[in-house]
Amino acid sequence: MIKTYCGFVAIIGRPNVGKSTLMNHLIGQKISITSRKPQTTRHKVTGVYTAEDSQYIFVDTPGFQNKYLTKLNQALNQSVVNSLSNVDAIVLVVEAGIFNSADEEVLKLLPVNANVILCINKNDLLKNKDELNSFTNSIANKYPFKSVIAVAAKHHNGMEELLIAIKPHLPESVFLYPEEQLTDKSSKFLASEIIREKLFRYLGEELPYSLMVDIDKFEETPTVTKVYATIIVDKDNQKPIIIGKGGEKLKKISTESRLDMEKLFDTKIHLEVWVKVKTGFADDVRFLKQFE
Ligand SMILES: Nc1nc2c(ncn2[C@@H]2O[C@H](COP(=O)(O)OP(=O)(O)OP(=O)(O)O)[C@@H](O)[C@H]2O)c(=O)[nH]1
C-alpha cells in the first residue's frame, strides 16, 4: 500500500490580498465544492485539490470576518484562533510590498506554534528581487513561519512551490474526498456559477438584480456533456439587455461559459442558454423552492 496524505488548510489574509484568486489557481480544474462535507470536520470546505499521494482540503475559517476585524471582540477572536488550531496548515497571504495594520490584525489571530506558511502574493508588482528580499526580511520574523513563498496567483506563478511547501504538514491519512468525480448537484451548481460570472462581467451595471440561472439539464455522455440553462429575469425589458443587439451579448456569454465549462469538466460541452421572463418570480416562494 502506498502512503497517502490528506489535511485541512486554511487560507487567511486581509481583504484584497488575493485569497480567492490564489484558491482558484491552487485547485485549478479539480475544484470540488462545499456540499459534500466529510463527517470528520466542522469546517466548511471551499476546495479540494488532489495530486498523486496528497489531498489538500481548503477550508473557510468560521467567524473570520476580516472586513470587520478591528471590531471583533476578544471572544470572537478566540473562536477564530480555535478553528485555526484545528487545521493542519495555514497559508497567510499578504500583498507584496504592503504590510499594514489590517495585516497585523490577521497576524495576531495565528495560534502559537501553528504550521504557517507566509505567502507573498502579487510579486509581479515589485520591480526587482532586491525589493522582494527587503520586504520579505521585514516581515519574515513576525512569526516563526515554516516557509516563505513568493507567488503571483493571478499569473499562476509559484502555485507548485506553495503546494510543495504545504505538503509536509499534511498528515498521513486516506483521502477524505473522491479524487475526481463531482456530484451531479455540484456540477450543476458550478455550471450555473460560471454563467452567473459571465453575466456579471458582461452586463455590469445593467445587470438586473432579480436574475437567476437555472440548469435545466446536465447530461453526461462519453463524448460530450450537454448543458441546458435558463436565465430567468423578472421583467420583459430585461430580456433584450441580456440578449443584446442581434443576440451578440448572449452569444458571448454562452461561448465564454462553454469554454470555461470545458476546462472545468475536462470534456466537450454542448451548451444552450435561454432567457425567460417570469414576472414576480423574485417574490414567489413556490417558484424559489424548486431551486433549492
Ligand atoms: N497584480 C496582481 N494582482 C493580483 C494577483 N492576485 C490577485 N490579484 C488581484 O487582486 C485583487 C483582489 O483579489 P481577490 O482574490 O479578490 O482577493 P481576496 O483576498 O479574496 O479579497 P476579499 O474577498 O476581499 O477578501 C483582484 O483584482 C485580483 O485580480 C497577482 O498575483 N498579481
Chain centroid to CA 55: how far?
Answer: 16
Give the chain's domain count. Answer: 2
Residues of the domain holding 25: 5-169
Residues 160 and 194 in one domain: no
Instruction: Return the best residue to mutate from 11, 12, 14, 16 for the ligand 1 pocket (most ligand atoms within 8 A of CB).
Output: 16
Looking at residue 9, which CATH number applies to its domain?
A: 3.40.50.300
Q: Where are the beta strands (DSSP E) in the chain?
A: 5-12, 44-51, 54-60, 89-95, 116-121, 147-150, 211-220, 224-233, 268-277
Residues 275 and 214 in one domain: yes
Residues 124 and 208 in one domain: no
- Which tens digits make up the pLDDT trace of 240-269? 989 999 999 999 999 999 998 888 777 899
Whether the pLDDT of residue 144 is over 50: the answer is yes
Mean per-residue pLDDT, 2-25: 87
Whether the pLDDT of residue 67 is over 60: the answer is no
Q: Which of 9-13, 53-57, 86-90, 282-286 has the lowest mean pLDDT?
A: 282-286
Q: What is the pLDDT of residue 292?
A: 38
Q: Which of 63-77, 85-99, 143-157, 174-188 has the lowest mean pLDDT?
A: 63-77
Mean per-residue pLDDT, 118-143: 93
Whether the pLDDT of residue 57 is over 60: the answer is yes
**179 belongs to a structural domain:** no
Whether the pLDDT of residue 30 is over 60: the answer is no
Q: Ligand 1 centre from 20 Cα, in Å?
A: 7
pLDDT-derived band at 23 (thresholds 50, 70, 90) equals: confident
pLDDT-derived band at 84 (thresholds 50, 70, 90) equals: confident
Single residue among 136, 169, 202 that ends a domain in this structure: 169
| pLDDT, greater one: 97 or 78 | 97
Q: What is the pLDDT of residue 235?
A: 84
Q: Which of 86-95, 121-130, 208-217 has the lowest mean pLDDT?
A: 208-217
**Closest ligand 1 atom, residue 121 Cα:** 31
**178 belongs to a structural domain:** no
> Phi/psi at 22 (nearest 5 deg)?
-60, -45
Q: Which protein residue's CA is at the shortest distance from atom 28 of ligand 1?
A: 18
Whether the pLDDT of residue 20 is over 60: the answer is yes
Residues 99 and 205 in one domain: no
pLDDT-derived band at 72 (thresholds 50, 70, 90) equals: very low
Q: Is 168 in the pocket of ligand 1 (CB under 6 A)?
A: no
The amino acid present at 147, given as its one-letter code, is S
Residues 231 and 271 in one domain: yes
How far apart, in whole angstroms, are the C-alpha atoms of residue 137 and residue 134? 5
The amino acid present at 160, given as its one-letter code, is E
Residues 254 and 125 in one domain: no
Residues 75 and 190 in one domain: no
Looking at residue 277, which CATH number applies to its domain?
A: 3.30.300.20
- Which tens digits make up the pLDDT trace of 204-248? 665 655 678 889 999 988 899 999 999 988 888 889 989 999 999
